[in-house]
Amino acid sequence: MNETICAVATKVGGAIAVIRISGPESISITDKVFRGTKNRKLADAKAYTVNYGHIIDKTEEEIDDVLVTVFRAPHSYTGEDSIEISCHGSEYIVKCIIQILIDAGCHQAEPGEYTRRAYLNGKMDLSQAEAVADLIASTNRATHKLALSQLKGHFSSELSVLRNQLLKITSLLELELDFSDHEELEFADRSELKALAQKIDERISTLAHSFVTGNAIKQGIPVAIIGKTNVGKSTLLNRLLHEDKAIVSDIHGTTRDVIEDTTQINGITFRFIDTAGIRQTDDTIEQLGIQRSYQKLEEATIVLWLLDSQPSAEEINDMNTRCQGKRVIVVQNKIDKGEQPLNIASSSLEPSASKEAPTLPLQATIIRLSAKLGTGINELCKALYKAADIPEISENSVIVTSARHYEALTCAQTSIQRVIEGMDSELPGDLIAEDLRICLDELGEITGGQITPQETLNNIFKHFCVGK
Q: Which residues pair with 223 in a beta bridge?
A: 272, 302
- Based on CB atoms, which residue is closest to its own copies, 142 or 303? 142
From the list 43-51, 226-234, 434-442, 455-463, the region that binds its own copies by CB under 8 A is: 43-51
Q: Which of 84, 86, 50, 92 is nearest to 65 (CA)?
A: 86
Under the binding rule (CB under 8 A), the answer on residue 247 touching its own copies is yes
Q: 172 and 363 in contact (C-beta within 8 Å)?
A: no
Under the binding rule (CB under 8 A), the answer on residue 325 touching its own copies is no
From the list 135-143, 304-312, 335-343, 435-443, the region that binds its own copies by CB under 8 A is: 135-143
Under the binding rule (CB under 8 A), the answer on residue 259 touching its own copies is no
- x/- contact string, 434-463, with its own copies (CB under 8 A)? ------------------------------
Under the binding rule (CB under 8 A), the answer on residue 14 touching its own copies is yes
Among 1, 43, 136, 167, binds its own copies (CB under 8 A): 136
Among 5, 8, 118, 380, binds its own copies (CB under 8 A): 8
Length of the chain: 468
Among 108, 157, 359, 378, binds its own copies (CB under 8 A): 108
Among 36, 105, 111, 289, binds its own copies (CB under 8 A): 111
Q: Counting beta carbons within 10 angstroms of the beta carbon of residue 429, is it exposed (0 to 12), middle (13 to 18) or buried (19 or more)?
A: buried
Under the binding rule (CB under 8 A), the answer on residue 144 touching its own copies is yes
Is it true that the peptide bond before 74 is cis, omega within 30 degrees of 0? yes
CA distance 48 to 262: 41
**Which one-letter DSSP state was computed for residue 336?**
G
- Based on CB atoms, which residue is closest to its own copies, 52 or 179? 52
CB atoms within 10 A of CB 122: 9
Among 44, 65, 202, 336, binds its own copies (CB under 8 A): 65
CA distance 283 to 286: 5
Under the binding rule (CB under 8 A), the answer on residue 99 touching its own copies is yes
From the list 17-25, 161-169, 280-288, 455-463, the region that binds its own copies by CB under 8 A is: 17-25
Alpha-carbon distances, residue 260 vs 3, 168, 217, 272 (angstroms): 41, 51, 17, 9
